Every structure is written in C-alpha cells, then in structure tokens.
Amino acid sequence: MRFLHDILLEGAAGRSGQTALIFQDETVTYGALQKAAENLAAQLAEMGVKTGDRVAYLDENSTEYPVVVFAVSMLGALFVPINFRFAPDEVAYVVNDAKPHVLLVAPAYMSQVEKAQPSFDQSVSVIEKPRLETLLRADAPAMLPRSALSEDAPAMVMYTSGTTGFPKGVLFSHRAYLANVKAIIESGELTSDDRMMVSLPLFHNGGLTAVLMPTLLLGAVAVIMARGFKPEEVLETVEKHRITSVMWVPTMLSMLITSDASSRFDTSSLSKIWYGSSPIAPDLLERSKRTFGADHYQFYGMTETGMTSVLKPEDHDLYPGSTGRAMPAAQLRLVDTQDRDVAIGEIGEVLSRQHPLGMIGYFGKDEETLEVLRDGWIHTGDLARNLGDGYFLIVDRKKDMIISGAENIYPREIELVLAGHPHVREVAVFGIPDATYGEAVCAAVVSEPDTKLTGEEVTSWCAEHLAGYKKPKKVLLMNELPKNAAGKILKNNLKASFWQGSASAI
C-alpha cells in the first residue's frame, strides 16, 4: 500500500544529499526534508495526534510547508491547509468546520488566530509552527507510531475556493491523491531533471498537488516562491536557477508579458509552461508562446475532481481554443439536464468519474455531497461544448449562465471577445437583474496601464463582434477585479450589490 507521505520517501530514495527545495536563500536536501518530517510527526504524536485526527496549518509558502504535509500523513491524520489571506472570521469558519486537534500557525499569523479564537466552537491546541532548523536539530524518533491505515482513508481536507458560496472541505484519499500526482507527471511530461518553480500558494491544490508534489515524487528540484507575485523577481529567479517548468495562471502570464522586466532576463531554460485555473485569451496565449518559446500545457480540474484534462502543446494547433481532453486515469462526460451524453457541437455539463482521481465527499456535509456526487460521477457545474475526439471547450459555469429574454448567454464568450480589445487588460461578465428581460449583461473591465477606456467603447466593441442581445447593458470600469489566491475572479463579489434584496439574490 502507498500513502501521501510515500511521495517524499520515494523521491528521497537514493537522493539523500540532493537538493529538494530552494526557498529564497535556503536550500533543503531530500534527506533533511525526510528527517524534519519524521521529527515533526513524532512531536505531533506526543501532542496526542492520532489516525483520523485533523491537523490544520496556517502559513505562507515556506520550506516547512511540505514538512507539515508529510508529517501529518505519517501519523494517518488529515492535513487541513488554511488560506493565509483569510480574515479571523474565515479562519474560525474553517476551524469550526474541520474541528482539528492541532492548529499549527506561522508566527506572522498568530495575531490573526488570536482574534479568531473567541469564535472557535471547541478547544483547539494552537501551536506556533516549528522552524526547519529546530526540527533538524531534534533527535530522530526511535519509532513512529504505526497507524492501521487504508489507501482509501482520507489524507486531506482541502477547502474549495468559495467563489460561489462558503468554502467546503473536500476529502481526498491517499489513493486518489497519488493517482492525481502520477497523472499530472505523465500529462505534463515532467522528469527528474526538471527544476520546477512553485509560484502558486501551497494552501491551494494548484501549488501543492499540481506542482510541488509531482516534483518531489520524481526527486526533482522545487524552487518555492514567497508570498506575492512580482514579475521582476519571478523572471530573475527563472534566470538564476535555470527553471525549466512552471505553472502560471493567465493573470500571472499577463503580468509577466507586459512587465518591463520581460526582456531583461534570460528565460531560455524554460521548456514547459503549465497554465490553467481560468480561461486564457487567445492573444495572451500567442504572446506567451512568442515571449518564452516554451511548450504550453493547459490543465483543467477542480478541487472535487482533481486535475482531469490537459491540452498538450501539439493539441494547441490541432484544437485551438480547446480546454483539452481527459488525462490518463480520468473519465469525463458531457451531459444534458437528463444526464444524457450530448452530441458533437452541443453544450453539456462536465461530469468526472469519482474514481480514481476524485473526492470521497465533502467533510461533514452529506447532503451537499449527494447533490454533487451521483452514481459514481462528480457533477462539476461547468458547461462545455463537445468538440469531438474527446476534446471539449469550457464555455462557462452553470451558475454563471445569463438567461435574458429566454436567451442563454455564456459570459465567457463575451469575456473572450472583450479580451481581444487592445485596451482591455482583464474582464469579468455576469448577469444583473433586469425588469424586462429577467437578466442583463454587465461587464467589469480593467484597462491596460496608460490607456483610457470608456463604457461606450466596450459596448461598441461587443456590438461589432457579437449578437445584440449579448452586448453589455452596464459597464463597470475598475482598477482591479477581486480574485482568490488561485487567480480566479470572484464574480459573487461583483454580483452581490446588484442582487441584494432580489428574490433571485445569490
């Protein structure tokens, strides 16, 4: 049997003295990473952590992050990452939902937790996270407690991004976690010689599951970036450490390409750019290819399903604009409202087979689990067009579709059109109440630096490229769009003021 912490044990086998992690000026070998994880596991066991307990962790990207993940797994406990951007009330929500035995906290976030503690429903041991050097100085445990663990037991409670409501804790088994990591390695063509940059936050599936864990399983080098995405710092790191592989969301790619630093650093070592998390404008993709000269891989998935599809470099030319097709081990369907497979050219909801890549269910939420997980299939809520040969194109979230005067309007279509405007940097389209048509189209737009964009220009551009009923009735000109840690735009935040008090309020 194999478990989440076997990622470390397999990666470290025969590589004790080789570099596993680089973080700022700190270098950690595979041997040191394993020793630190074993010592922390022993300390957690002394605190009473046992099989099935939850251990929550609040921290930014750091060398200690994977140490905590692997230590918790070694005890058969469940790792619960917490978003470091959460306000005290949000921290309390996760703690009350997951009910951890221990909450490990980075010193910088202790005051945040202290503000949240009065709202905790139960007593939780709040411990300041041990530093890596402290763990490496500790005496190795004589023997770690053995847990009667099954590969199908939960390894982690990963909270959803909360873009459409309160975050839900997704239970992932050891078996599914390892299956995800292996499928990502194969689909992204990662090798043990790669040097992978970890730019995404590690509390998120993108940073932890899709980037860091595949790198460590192969025994490759992971270069972890600190909090915040600074284009010059990122490009300098690519040059300094000869980074070969990255995962950047479209927002990051846009920031890099438009940065003055894009021409000042040598990025020729880059051979693979993975991207995903949100739709990418065709122009941005082409500019990225020209700027970096690397192969591009588009990944698609969600917290509940794990990563499920990929658009490989050669597919970008054969199926331009496609989201991709199922990865190894994944099985996807596009279905209508009666769960019948849709024909080529038609739009249906994406369903993903629960096993071997998907979740066990939502932690403590049986009703919500039954709504999403039916007959062994996870209903994603994403709508996609069937392109044939297994390829599909995500057109929108089911909940985001606008129905105006009985016409179905897909916001993503309008977003892609507006993204083609030379003065538009970012855009989000959503529905707002309309007394006549039920809903109307609203576009929130961020213009490129040093440009002036008017609402009239936005609507005129849409009128040139789209049917009249898809043209925005209202345009919001904004300095920035609200986003979560993965770079996904929080449309609920944009919609809220429009729908407040409405019978259809979100």
For residue range 164-204, what is the model confidence (pLDDT) as tens digits?
A: 557 899 999 999 999 999 999 999 999 999 999 999 999 99
For residue range 443-500, what is the model confidence (pLDDT) as tens digits?
A: 999 998 888 899 999 999 999 888 888 999 999 999 999 887 666 788 888 888 887 6
- Please say whether the beta carbons of 236 and 284 come within 8 A: no
On the question of pLDDT at 503 being above 60, the answer is no
DSSP codes joined into one string, 12-31:
HTT-TTSEEEEETTEEEEHH
- Please say whether the beta carbons of 298 and 275 come within 8 A: yes
Share of the chain above pLDDT 90, in %: 73
Q: Residue ranges of the alpha helices (H) in 303-350?
A: 313-318
**Angle at CA 303, nearest 5°, toward 81 and 245?**
85
Which of the four pLDDT bands, split at 50, 70 and 90, describes residue 505?
very low
Going by DSSP bridges, is the β-strand pair 474-477/438-447 parallel, antiparallel, or unpaired?
parallel
- Please say whether the beta carbons of 1 and 155 come within 8 A: no
Residue in the structure block whose two tokens are 């209508």: 336
- Please say whether the beta carbons of 16 and 31 come within 8 A: yes
- Please say whether the beta carbons of 244 and 269 come within 8 A: yes
Both structure tokens of 255: 């920031």
Half-sphere exposure for 249 (CA within 13 Å, toward CB): 21
Nearest to 427 by CA among 402, 452, 445, 454: 445
- Please say whether the beta carbons of 113 and 92 come within 8 A: no
Q: Please state which of the ranges 204-213, 216-225, 265-274, 428-437 shows the lowest mean pLDDT.
A: 428-437
- From CA 118, how far away is CA 161, in angstroms rounded? 25
The predicted structure's pLDDT at residue 506 = 31
Nearest to 491 by CA among 428, 441, 433, 438: 428
Q: Which amino acid is at 328?
A: P
Q: Please state which of the ranges 209-223, 245-259, 399-413, 444-458 shows the lowest mean pLDDT.
A: 399-413
Nearest to 391 by CA among 317, 452, 445: 317
Both structure tokens of 433: 């109440």
For residue range 51-85, what is the model confidence (pLDDT) as tens digits?
A: 999 999 999 999 999 999 999 999 999 999 999 98
Cβ-in-10-Å burial (0-12, 13-18, 19+) of 367 comes to exposed
Both structure tokens of 226: 């600190």
The predicted structure's pLDDT at residue 341 = 97
- From CA 95, how far away is CA 115, in angstroms rounded? 13
Both structure tokens of 424: 């538009």
Rg of the chain, C-alpha, whole Å: 23
DSSP-based three-state secondary structure for 325 = strand
- From CA 36, how far away is CA 26, in angstroms rounded? 15
For residue range 310-360, what is the model confidence (pLDDT) as tens digits?
A: 999 999 989 988 999 999 899 999 999 999 999 999 999 999 999 999 999
The predicted structure's pLDDT at residue 401 = 82
On the question of pLDDT at 437 being above 80, the answer is no
Sorted by where each starts, the structural domains of the chain and their CATH numbers stand as 1-8+29-149 (3.40.50.980), 401-499 (3.30.300.30)
